Amino acid sequence: MNPRDAADGMIVVAMSGGVDSAVAAALLARQGVPVVGITLRIWPSLRPAAPEARFDSCCSPQAVEDARSVAQALSIPYYVLNYEAEFDREVIQYFTQAYLTGETPNPCVPCNSRLKFGSLYARARGWGATRVATGHYARVEYHPDTGRYRLRRAADARKDQSYFLYSLTQEQLAAALFPVGHLRKEETRRLARELGLAVADKPDSQEICFVPRDYRAYLRERVGAAIQPGTIRDTAGTACGQHQGIAFYTVGQRRGLGIASSQPLYVIDLDPTRNEVIVGEDRDLWTRELEVERVNLIAIERLSEPRRVLAKVRYAQAPAPAALIPLPGDRLRLCFEEPQRAVAPGQAAVFYDVSDPDLVVGGGTIRRGEQRTTANCGMANAECGIGIGEDAIRGGGGGVRRPPP
Amino acid sequence: MRVYLDHNATTPLHPEVLAAMTPYLGERFGNPSSLHAWGQEARQALERARATIARALGVGDKDTIVFTAGGTEADNHALLGVAAAQEKRGRHVIISAVEHHAVLNAAVHLARQGFEVTRLPVDGQGLLNPDEVRRAIRPDTILVSLMHGNNETGVLFPIAAVGRICREHGVIFHTDAVQSFGKLPLDVEALHVDLLSLSGHKLHGPKGIGALYIRRGTKMQPLIHGGTQERSRRAGTENVAGAVGLARATELMLQDQEGAAKRLADLRDRLELGLMAALPGVLRNGHSTERLPHTANLALLGVEAESVILALDLCGVGISSGAACSSGSLEPSHVLAAMGLSRERVEGSVRFSLGRGTTPEEIDHVVEVLPPIVERMRRVHAGPSAVVGART
């Protein structure tokens, strides 16, 4: 039996003010379980919505009004919790620190694991609740054979958010409920309309909820003093320009470099110790092998030998065949069969099962790599029987970065 | 069982107050400024209400009472009105660190206009030493404003002693008596106050009505400009029904003031002792005797006030926080912080405030439901909790 069925206590629903969490709350309330709606207030209380409101999507004062009206329509208790300081500590500081060190952050990942399923879940237990539900498009299930809680992609592949949930622990997954994870987005909206919820036709939230439009302007405002201009170098180490601060660049970026060149130039690396932006051509952006740290495994307890998976290194990407090679600690090496373009350190790498592609094996944070040879990868792939073709290995040259085949 | 223990936030309207007000929301709708019968009827009710409030403060002269839209307006009128009229004499104002925001932020507003504001400290029990006032008064001091009963802790300030000091120095003295009016005997002569704020909805009266007592001869400017209502001290058509309601609520409070105070203090002690007996780590914030009879501010160590309030609400019990907002808040209660209490203690502090309708059964209910909630929270927070969630 699914151990989760044993204790069916109160459920806390994290309500963002959007249609997904509204329907999540509605579906639970309809089942007759006691449901409490919560909105985490992450914007400053003393600075209410300015005309140029920073928080104009999720979790803004308008979002609170929307969530409250849904809770009232469903006749469930609803509270707004002050998460200003915690959000700053766990999400915003992580976000700004990542950019300052040349990484590209995924702020939704710590928001899920440290806030919604972290401190909110802890508080919820204090209130007597046993579960936390959200409007995420993902599915969680108990797997009796392994005794593990497993995370699966959403039924609606276009909306799947499992990528942002990979860092949930077993304890957190055991408490997690994603009531809209089995719905298609249109079905969610249709249900919202049927239930008469005012947010039924509210547009989907876009981008990062706490950054208005331009993350660079946001960084300048938050941590401007820590951002220093520096040198842009090419792959040969030749200085070829000035940059505004590595925080303003992301691997793969082409615009805003201000360097004249016969070939299009891209950011291929950001060096925080030297405060340098490294640029190269498109062929320098392709990587087959990368190191992943702070790995959290979900479908399996440990990775003791190489394993074939499908992996993705950014949210908007179809998972591609790859191999996981265990490394000491909570690290592993991820080797793709085909080179991947513009892999950005700091982003999440998430792994899915080869034979059951909806199943999340685990994930971690992409580490900024030092130069390695593809020989390791070829060996590793050989070890786990992936059998990368001779051509691919030969085509690899000597570096991590190589052109597409 | 639903239990409301947040009477310092607001109180339910007494049915007799509603009954007294109803005619003035209906057939007796006149404007007190009108010459005709409708107007005269309203005028009469308004002046009767004014006399009732004056009597409750030990004043024979009812024209010392100006009706306002509430306690906050009365406080603002006191500070800004005196400052505007006296600024040629001096630009120094004295308040305490634990005033209600109505006084605190009115003083901030004055400071922005170039006034100098001294905020007197309180001790660990929330008490204020009158000598602090004596030491703080300067030749250019124009106003001292100190609250009577603190809204968060219930601690009482030595208003009479301070009033005497202000009188000696010829400084105008205002007290915010919003929490104590009706609950404790108040006599503006015995207290030596020149200005006193009160509010209707804290004593089972309506919201939107309050009053400022202004001693005759106190030079001040109006806050709201317009017609000549309230002897040109507060323009705008009077809230007749509100004033009638405030007066009726005051009468009801005075009917059994001493008995009610005793009964509420007993219930408050029953709550405090009951919780302290049932739970370790419960501390009282504020002095044990120098306080209002109906307010208990308790620190529940190791838990968050916000969570306790939420969990109690889910059980049908309404209380509020000692802190403005907790959960790692950037703004812990300025009152408890001024008392020098630790951050943990401030964050775990909750306020229970009792009202005329509070029963021993309600208190016993809270003493029964709260300890298991706190124990559960302490367990969750102490255990290998999900607070430590997965790192990213």
ipTM of this model? Answer: 0.85
Contacts of B392 in chain A (CB under 8 A): 94, 106, 109-110, 113-114, 167, 294, 365
Mean pLDDT of A221-245: 93
CA distance A238 to chain B (A): 35
Chain B residues with CB inside 8 Å of A104's CB? none
A396 three-class SS = coil
Scanning the structure block, which residue is given the tokens 């008064």?
Answer: B137
B236 shares a domain with B345:
no
Mean pLDDT is lowest, of A386-390, B69-73, B171-175, B186-190, for A386-390
Give the C-alpha distances (Å, rounded to integers) separating B88 from A348, B141, B142, B250: 66, 11, 10, 38
Based on the fold, state whether residues B231 and B349 are members of the same structural domain.
no
Q: How far apart are CA B249 and CA A291, in angstroms?
A: 73
In chain A, CATH 3.40.50.620 sits at: 3-194
Contact B304 A168 (CB under 8 A): no
Instruction: Point out the residues of A that are catalytic.
Output: 111, 209
Residue B194 inside a domain? The answer is yes
Residue B390 forms contact with A (CB below 8 Å): yes
Contact with chain A for residue B108, Cβ under 8 A: no
**What are A's interface residues with B at a Cβ cutoff of 8 A?**
10, 36, 45-46, 77, 79, 81-86, 89, 94, 106, 109-110, 113-114, 117-119, 121-123, 125-128, 167-169, 171-172, 175, 294, 296, 365
Where is the domain boundary, B255, B272, B294?
A: B255
Closest C-alpha among B149, B154, B158 to residue B131: B158
The CATH T-level fold of domain A286-395 is Elongation Factor Tu (Ef-tu); domain 3 (2.40.30)
Tell me which residue has tokens 């009792």: B354
CATH of span A3-194:
3.40.50.620
B141 is a domain residue: yes
Output the pLDDT for position A210. Answer: 85
More confident of the two residues A330 and A212: A330
Q: What integer pLDDT is reported at residue A60 of this predicted model?
A: 66
Query: Nearest to residue B202, comparing CAs of B223, B217, B180, B187?
Result: B180
Structural domain count, chain B: 2
Class of A228-280 in CATH: mainly beta
In this complex, which of A94, A126, A172 lies closest to B377 when CB atoms are compared? A126
Alpha-carbon distance of A312 to A309, in angstroms, equals 10
Q: Is B62 exposed, middle or buried (0-12, 13-18, 19+ CB in 10 A)?
A: middle
Q: What is the pLDDT of residues A350-375, one digit of tens each?
A: 999 999 999 999 999 999 876 433 44
Catalytic residue among B1, B108, B325, B380: B325
The phi and psi torsions of A104 (rounded to 5 degrees) equal: -110, 105
| Inter-residue contact A311 to A286 (CB < 8 Å) | no
**Which residues of chain A lie closer than 8 angstroms to B377, CB-CB?**
126
CB-based burial of residue A7 (10 Å sphere; 0-12 exposed, 13-18 middle, 19+ buried)? exposed
Whether residue B97 lies inside any domain: the answer is: yes
Q: Would an 8 Å CB–CB cutoff place B2 in contact with chain A?
A: no
- B residues 317-346 closer than 8 Å to A (CB): 325-331
Is B6 inside any structural domain? no
Q: Determine, yes or no, domain membership for B222.
A: yes
The CA distance from B313 to B292, in Å, is 24
* Parts of chain A belonging to CATH 2.30.30.280: 228-280
Kindly state whether B88 is in contact with chain A, defined as any CB-CB distance less than 8 angstroms. no
- Please check whether residue B8 lies inside any domain of the structure: no
CA-based nearest residue to A364, from A317, A299, A318, A297:
A297
Torsions phi, psi for B76 (to 5 deg): -60, -40
Locus of tokens 């054979």: A145
- How many CA atoms lie less than 13 Å away from B189 in the CB half-sphere? 7
- The pLDDT score that the predictor gives to residue A45 is 55
Interface touch A77/B303, C-beta < 8 Å = no
Q: Are B73 and B123 part of one and the same domain?
A: yes
Q: Which residues in chain A touch residue B380, judged by CB atoms under 8 angstroms apart?
A: 122, 125-126
Query: What type of residue is A333?
Result: R
Question: What pLDDT is stored for residue A59 in this prediction?
Answer: 56
Q: What is the mean pLDDT of residues B268-289?
A: 97
Q: Is B10 a member of any domain?
A: no
* Rounded CA separation B67/B233 (Å): 9
* pLDDT for res A247: 95
Confidence band for A175, pLDDT divided at 50, 70 and 90: very high
- pLDDT at position B330 over 80: no
Please list every residue in chain A whose beta carbon sits closer than 8 Å to the beta carbon of residue B385: 122, 125
Nearest Cα to B78, choosing from B114, B42, B53, B109? B109
- Contact between A298 and A290 (Cβ < 8 Å): no
Q: For the residues A67-72, what does the mean pLDDT come to?
A: 95
Give the SS3 label for residue A331. Answer: coil
pLDDT of residue B387: 37
pLDDT band at A63 (very low <50, low <70, confident <90, very high): confident
pTM of the model: 0.86
Place of tokens 């107050």: B17
Q: Do A83 and B327 touch (CB under 8 A)?
A: yes
* Cβ–Cβ < 8 Å for A166, B390: no
- Same domain, residue pair B245 and B261: no
CB count in 10 Å sphere of residue B132: 19
Share of chain A above pLDDT 90, in %: 74
Q: Where in chain A is the domain with CATH 2.40.30.10?
A: 286-395
Comparing A261 with A341, which gets the higher pLDDT? A341
Mean local confidence (pLDDT), B294-299: 97
Alpha-carbon distance of A395 to A100, in angstroms, equals 34
- At A52 the pLDDT is 45
A80 by DSSP, 3-state: which?
A: strand
Chain A residues within an 8 Å CB radius of B381: 122, 126
Residue A129 pLDDT > 60, yes or no?
A: yes
Whether the CB of B386 is below 8 Å from some CB of chain A: the reply is yes
pLDDT at A383 over 80: no
> Does B217 share its domain with B296?
no
Q: Are residues B72 and B158 in the same domain?
A: yes
C-beta atoms of A128 and B314 within 8 A: yes
Mean residue pLDDT across chain B: 94
- Whether residues B175 and B267 fall in one domain: no
pLDDT band at B383 (very low <50, low <70, confident <90, very high): low
- Band of the pLDDT at A91, cuts 50, 70, 90? very high
Averaged pLDDT for residues A299-316: 96
Residue B58's CATH number: 3.40.640.10
B214, exposed or middle or buried, with CB in 10 Å at 0-12, 13-18, 19+?
A: buried
Please compute the mean of the pLDDT values over residues A327-331 and round it to a whole number. Answer: 95
- Comparison of pLDDT for B390 and B374, the residue scoring more: B374
User: Residue A328: in which H helix or E strand, if any?
Assistant: none
Contact yes or no for A85 and B330 at CB 8 A: yes
Nearest to A126 among B326, B376, B388 (CB): B376
% of chain B exceeding 90 in pLDDT? 92
- What CA–CA distance (Å, rounded) separates A237 from B4? 72
CATH no. for residue B330? 3.90.1150.10
- Selected for mutation to probe chain A from B319, B320, B377, B392 (highest A CB count within 10 Å) is B392
**A89·B390 Cβ contact <8 A:** no
Note whether B35 contacts A: Cβ–Cβ < 8 A.
Answer: no
Tell whether B64 and B110 lie within a shared domain: yes
Inside any domain, residue B1: no
Contact B306 A119 (CB under 8 A): no
Per the model's pLDDT, the better-predicted residue between A123 and A380 turns out to be A123
At A165 the three-state DSSP class reads helix
Q: Do residue B81 and residue B213 come from a single domain? A: yes
Compare all CA atoms of chain B with the CA of A293 and give the residue at the minimum distance.
B392
Task: Domain of residue B152: give its range.
Answer: 15-255
Of the pLDDT bands very low, low, confident and very high (cuts 50, 70, 90), residue B282 is: very high
Same domain, yes or no: B303 and B193:
no
Distances (CA, A) of A288 to A17, A279, A341, A396: 40, 19, 9, 9
> Considering only CB atoms, which chain A residues are within 8 Å of B310?
79, 81, 127
